[in-house]
Structure 1
Amino acid sequence: MNKKKEISDKKETEESLIELGKFYFINGKYDKAIEEFKKAIELNPRNSETYYNLGLVYEAKNNIEEARKMYEKSVEIDPNNKLAKEHLEKIVGL
């Protein structure tokens, strides 16, 4: 398999995992959502969106400490991620 195809396949897989994680989250299957987002992070640990989504799940589970860590990581990767910043400010201000 050539390198370009391998990168393309990896990106598609990462996006599929993120979408699956969102599906589980929306349907209240938080533990399954966490699994999928963590798999996506293994493929690409530099995707701010994945950490943000994982933060949302932890926040929904009322695991504020883990949510905070995920939002911080999201903002560290992408300082312009306004949603992650807003959620971080909200939970830190609790």
Structure 2
Amino acid sequence: MKIRGGIVAAGVALLAAAAPALADSKGDAKSQVEFGINVAQRGLWREAIYRWEKAVELDPTYAAAYNDLAIAYEHEGQLDKARKAYEKAIELSPNNEPIRQNYELFKEINDRTTVGKDK
């Protein structure tokens, strides 16, 4: 019985140790997003993409980071990547109206552009 108790105690200790790392990861992701916004405002879209890709790597549940990434991809003409990033953002935050509006505008513009190219 002592071994089982030791295993449980070790498991709890591991969870307690992982919690700050998870918090640090989310904090680091937020810092990456903020830095990405800063450089995007200066027209440095490739750097912004790098930062936002890093943010979603650090926190794969960060819907706003996927939205920002989608906008940057769209700006750089990487439309397939933009669509996937918007879809991921909506999957993570389905009731986020600004993300939905961004995606709807993206689809409206790109569907119109695509239709024109087919003819």
| TM-score between the two structures when normalised by the length of structure 2 | 0.71
Matches within 5 A, 1:47-86: 47-86=62-101
- Percent same amino acid at aligned positions? 30
Which of 40, 52, 57 is the aligned partner of 1:37? 52
Asked which structure has the greater RCO (Cα within 8 Å, sep 6+), the reply is 1
**Which structure dedicates a bigger proportion of its chain to helix?**
2
One-letter identity of the residue aligned with 2:77: N
Shift >4 Å, 4+ stretches: none
Tell me the alpha carbon deviations over residues 47-79 of structure 1, each in whole angstroms, 9 at most, x when there is no partner. 111100001112222333322221111001110
Which protein has the larger Cα radius of gyration, Structure 1 or Structure 2?
2
Unaligned runs of 5+ in 2: 1-15, 110-119
2:102 is matched with 87
- C-alpha distance in 2, partners of 1:88/1:10? 27
Question: Is residue 4 from structure 1 mapped to residue 27 from structure 2 by the alignment?
Answer: no
Residues paired across the two proteins, number: 94
